Structure 1
Amino acid sequence: MSVSSTDAQQHRLPQPILPGFNPDPSIVEANGVYYLVTSTFEYLPGIPVYRSTDLSNWEQVGNVITREAQANLRQTPTPGGVWAPTIRHRNGVFYVIVSIMFSGHGCVLYTATDPAGPWSDGVRIPSVDGLDPDLVWSEDGTALVTFASWGKGILQVAVDLHDGSALEEPRQLWSGTGLLTPEGPHIYQRGDWWYLLIAEGGTERGHGVSIARGRSARGPFEGHPENPVLTKRSTDYPIQNVGHADMVDLPDGSSLWVLLGVRPVGFTRAFSPLGRETFTAQVHWENGWPQARLLPPNQAEGPAAFTIDFAQSTELDHGWISDRRLPATVGRHDPVQGAFVLSGEHNDVSLAGAPMLGRRITHHKGRVSLGVNVSRGCGGLLVRCSEVHWIALEATETAGKINVTARASLAGIQSTWSAELQGENLELHVNFTPAPARGANAAPIVGGDRITLLASTDTEHAVLTELDGRYWSFETTESFTGRVIGAYARTGEVGLLHYTVSPDLADFDSKES
């Protein structure tokens, strides 16, 4: 399929193109192939690299941060970590520049000749004392890093990319239009103009895209007279918080923006359970300025089926992530048990860096099931937003009986529900269903989506509780991430047998509750 930005083509692009926790997207084209990266904050491996030839079908081919020494996140507090990477390509080399916040690393530049990796250890750039760095080369080939600085607007500094040293003092480039938090800058050359694209208004409901242009990559820049050029604030549009855009030119002379946004749910559409996702906006050019159009979501309600049998899979794919550590450090494949075994460290999931293994939740509706062996440990299924906002199904086995406890943590306040099951082949389940808009007598039902926690064996099943998902949504947790679901171990060894994502929410066959 050839890439075009006509209305028909744009309608064929999935919206979002990367569902679930994939904020702050950046995109680059190299030799007819598109590569895209997003933020990962406290999770490792960091900075997923997605590849596409048609802007519609995306495959994760690797991650930039695959060694803990590249970022050192173990002591990084939430919501710190890997913020807003920018990916660029020049003379056969791929560059990713990023802020690693509240970690002591600051701005770091990684390089690779293959975007699938491996990526370099990284070069620190001390002069970039801010966030959301962008990389561009000026007319004379000088590398310019443009970044946001709290209270100072958008700054820029010339840098030696080999050692990270500054070639000048950072200087102010543009202060934006006066809206909250000018950030996320990106600079492009198009014809005789250089364009500076930024986000303003904060990454919540006031978010938007503003743009300025000038005759040099170094400025000065003059803002568009109708900034922000794209925002959905104070509207009922199904995508909100739109901003932090990056641009790629298309073969037909138009452009495409990738940008973050949320899909809020509920009667008041106030809660976004999936966090910030990656969307696209169609861009045409008129009188030297971009005109952007954001089309509504067109994703299917439920996810495509996904399953992994840990007895058959000796390696984890690129989509698995862990909290502040690499998946290889929290467990191992055990061919004797036919499982991926997580090793508990007597840590609760309320502690940063506790042993867990998860994947991004990508749809508002669906079921995730985990087959688990707890004969030698305590642990189970985990829905994580942060170390203080999480939901767990924790299981132990004693004298042939399986005890399952549902635990819900909201800002550190915990509630529990318990059940006892007999039988074998323990499975833990979580159902996600969209929030009902109306109740009895057409009365509105406030809140978020519904999260139902269940457990089953080959002979019994139990529904432990149903929760209001507003408390584990982006607007409530303020963790900058979305829901990640997987497994954790608290003590001993917990064997993961299989993990399944399904759009099917049917009841358990004919088992008695």
Structure 2
Amino acid sequence: MSYINPVLPGTNPDPSVCRVGSTFYLATSSFEYFPGVPLYRSDDLVSWEQIGHCFNRESQLDLSDTDTSGGIYAPTLRYHDGTFYLVTTDVGGQGNVLLTAADPAGEWSEPTQLDVPGFDPDLFFDGDTAYLSYAHGPTLAETTIKQATVNPDTGDVGEPSELWRGIEGTFAEAPHLYRVDGTYYLLTAEGGTHLNHMVVAARSDDPTGPFEACPTNPILSHRGHPMQSIKATGHGDLVDAPDGTWWLVFLGIRQQGGHPGWHQLGRETFLAPVEWVDGWPVVNGGELITPRMTVDSLPGDGSAPDRAAPARATLATFDDETLDVAFEHRRNPDESAYSLTEPPGSLTLRGRTESLGDSGATFVGRRQAHFDCRIDTRFTFDPAEGAEAGLALVADERHHYEIGVTRIDGTTVAIVRLRIGDATETVVETPVDGPEHSVRVDATAEEYRLSYLQGDKDYPEAVGTASSKYLSTEVTGNFTGVYIGPYATTGEDATSPASFDYFTYEPTADE
């Protein structure tokens, strides 16, 4: 049988997985987006359902002063004696923290701060002792893995010691500890988080080391394979299935456009089988990871010959009391700027003085998870002078495209605006009629087509195109991929609300 990689497309980096019975749970990094740390559930490691977020209250996570690509890094998700544990780093904020939950789909605790420096914490239970491992060093290139005991009830941390320096002596991060058949195994990410990324394994008779390196390290890497469509593979986490098989979840990217290429979907979650050979984990038989993976079986119901992740369309009509779980804000939202009840059945945005170039913009979006997709929305908006609303594609404050409606010198116009670094250009400015508006984005791997529509009236002049390259990590230098969703701005607070009737995101091709 076969399955399709990535199993979690779109921005879902640094995956961490655990199993409870026959059910798998997975968490990924969320950086400056709120709610933070999306949580997924699966019975087969391929088809994942999002069940919520670990950080969904401002008391847990204040991102208001967080820089782009700051915020939440590299969670580790574990289950022990009836409790789910999550340790992660709030970069630039609380530092390393620990949260707990009885039900991962329910409410998580307030964070307990862990008094250790560094990032990428791991939590490992061994009998009555819990170990906290993490990456720390004088510079990012000089990080090594440190370890200390931790009391998961209080957050008290013991005296740290060095656990692992890395096989190359640089960029050792993302530690995960396991006990398999009486032997302790350490997995780390090394080589940096881009094209030299890799997963490294070591083992010991004691969780505190010393650890010997796997003779075939790295156990996973696509470094040195520039023609592969999947690159930057690394940051892995092991899990065993009820049938005794082992698997590795890890991040990777899908670059487009040849050399040097670009990726606008962010770092995604991939899956590979693992075998144990001579006491060492071997990933995918030592072969490279491919978009279509052939395996003997998958966990869960093994009757299906092929398995692929769901299309993950979003068809939001805003009839519920809360937004679809796929939607996230850039940093904590100002609740006064968003409403699902005024009027009911709509998402109403009240623009503030902040534009999409500011950290506090009124914007809510979902990950772009497919190169080929269509996104459209209809909204009611009678703008005051200078007010604006529509649909935006956002990589960060300095890299975004939008198709929107505004009023200029007393005339309502549709616009397409492109912001690429220091350059901003309005490439479309066309007068339109009435307060009812529809806008659409058609995406391919190479470009975005942004269109204004209105009933049966054709607006061929209200169409703009832009290259996807300029919203990619290779251009922005940041960690997240593109998010797509409604936005609103205004020259005055709380004027000219825009009410969105629906939002649809649908893949338009198999990938």
Aligned with 2:475: secondary structure? Answer: helix
Does 1:416 pair with 2:426? yes
Cα separation, 2, equivalents of 1:170 and 1:24: 24
- Cα deviation for residue 62 of structure 1 reads 1.1
- Aligned partner letter, 1:76: T
Aligned partners of 2:22 and 2:242 also within 8 Å: no
- Cα deviation for residue 399 of structure 1 reads 10
Match of 2:396 among 375, 381, 386: 386
Does 1:406 pair with 2:406? no
Does 1:502 pair with 2:499? no
Cα separation, 2, equivalents of 1:152 and 1:337: 52
Aligned partners of 2:222 and 2:231 also within 8 Å: yes
Aligned partners of 1:356 and 1:489 also within 8 Å: yes
- Cα deviation for residue 300 of structure 1 reads 8.3
Q: 1:271-282 residue pairs with structure 2 within 5 A?
A: 271-282=262-273
Question: Residue 277 of structure 2 aligns with which residue?
Answer: 286
Match of 2:290 among 280, 293, 296: 296
- Aligned partner letter, 1:502: E
Question: Residue 69 of structure 2 aligns with which residue?
Answer: 79
Question: Residue 109 of structure 1 aligns with which residue?
Answer: 98
- Cα deviation for residue 33 of structure 1 reads 0.8
- Cα deviation for residue 304 of structure 1 reads 5.8
- Cα deviation for residue 251 of structure 1 reads 2.9
CA separation of 1:212 and 1:333: change in aligned 2, threshold 3 A: same
Match of 2:125 among 130, 137, 140: 137
CA separation of 1:282 and 1:343: change in aligned 2, threshold 3 A: same
Aligned with 1:315: secondary structure? Answer: coil
Match of 1:359 among 366, 373, 377: 366
Does 1:185 pair with 2:175? yes
Does 1:166 pair with 2:157? yes
- Cα deviation for residue 192 of structure 1 reads 2.0
Question: Residue 431 of structure 1 aligns with which residue?
Answer: 442
Does 1:307 pair with 2:315? yes
Aligned partners of 2:124 and 2:178 also within 8 Å: yes
Q: Deviations over 1:224-280 (max 9, x none)?
A: 122111101121222101000001012333310000001111133611110100001
Cα separation, 1, equivalents of 2:308 and 2:236: 24
- Aligned partner letter, 2:422: G
Aligned partners of 2:40 and 2:48 also within 8 Å: yes
Cα separation, 2, equivalents of 1:305 and 1:428: 18
Aligned partners of 1:321 and 1:327 also within 8 Å: no
Aligned with 1:332: secondary structure? Answer: strand
Does 1:126 pair with 2:125? no
Cα separation, 2, equivalents of 1:392 and 1:302: 28
- Cα deviation for residue 295 of structure 1 reads 3.7
- Aligned partner letter, 1:36: L
Cα separation, 2, equivalents of 1:135 and 1:306: 34
Aligned partners of 2:47 and 2:309 also within 8 Å: no
Question: Residue 440 of structure 1 aligns with which residue?
Answer: none
With the length of structure 2 as denominator, give the TM-score of the two structures. Answer: 0.89
CA separation of 1:157 and 1:333: change in aligned 2, threshold 3 A: same
Aligned partners of 1:156 and 1:170 also within 8 Å: yes
Aligned partners of 1:179 and 1:200 also within 8 Å: no
Cα separation, 2, equivalents of 1:275 and 1:152: 24
Aligned partners of 2:382 and 2:435 also within 8 Å: no
Instruction: Give the stretch that moved more between structures: 405-414 or 94-103.
Output: 405-414
Question: Residue 197 of structure 2 aligns with which residue?
Answer: 207
- Aligned partner letter, 1:121: E
Q: Deviations over 1:52-109 (max 9, x none)?
A: 1122221111110010121211101122100000000000000000000012x00000
Cα separation, 1, equivalents of 2:438 and 2:258: 33
- Cα deviation for residue 389 of structure 1 reads 1.3
Cα separation, 2, equivalents of 1:281 and 1:338: 42
Unaligned runs of 5+ in 2: 293-306
Cα separation, 1, equivalents of 2:115 and 2:143: 17
Cα separation, 1, equivalents of 2:70 and 2:479: 9
Aligned with 1:375: secondary structure? Answer: coil
Aligned partners of 1:68 and 1:326 also within 8 Å: no
Aligned with 1:137: secondary structure? Answer: strand
Q: What is the number of equivalent residue pairs in this alignment?
A: 476
Determine what percentage of the aligned residue pairs are the same residue: 35
- Aligned partner letter, 1:204: H
Aligned with 1:283: secondary structure? Answer: strand
- Cα deviation for residue 113 of structure 1 reads 0.2
- Cα deviation for residue 210 of structure 1 reads 0.5
**Alignment RMSD:** 2.1
- Cα deviation for residue 398 of structure 1 reads 7.5
Does 1:486 pair with 2:485? yes
Aligned partners of 2:390 and 2:402 also within 8 Å: yes
Does 1:21 pair with 2:31? no
Cα separation, 1, equivalents of 2:444 and 2:279: 45
- Aligned partner letter, 1:89: Y
Aligned partners of 1:302 and 1:364 also within 8 Å: no
Aligned with 1:251: secondary structure? Answer: coil
CA separation of 1:426 and 1:401: change in aligned 2, threshold 3 A: farther
- Cα deviation for residue 465 of structure 1 reads 2.0
- Aligned partner letter, 1:62: G
- Cα deviation for residue 36 of structure 1 reads 0.2
- Aligned partner letter, 1:134: D
Question: Residue 348 of structure 2 aligns with which residue?
Answer: 341
Question: Residue 258 of structure 1 aligns with which residue?
Answer: 249
Cα separation, 1, equivalents of 2:206 and 2:258: 48
Cα separation, 2, equivalents of 1:301 and 1:130: 34
Aligned partners of 2:89 and 2:95 also within 8 Å: yes
CA separation of 1:285 and 1:177: change in aligned 2, threshold 3 A: same
Cα separation, 2, equivalents of 1:302 and 1:407: 32
- Aligned partner letter, 1:49: L
- Aligned partner letter, 1:143: A
Aligned partners of 2:14 and 2:251 also within 8 Å: yes
- Cα deviation for residue 420 of structure 1 reads 2.0
Cα separation, 2, equivalents of 1:496 and 1:400: 23
- Cα deviation for residue 467 of structure 1 reads 1.1
Question: Residue 460 of structure 1 aligns with which residue?
Answer: 458
- Aligned partner letter, 2:504: T
Question: Residue 472 of structure 1 aligns with which residue?
Answer: 471
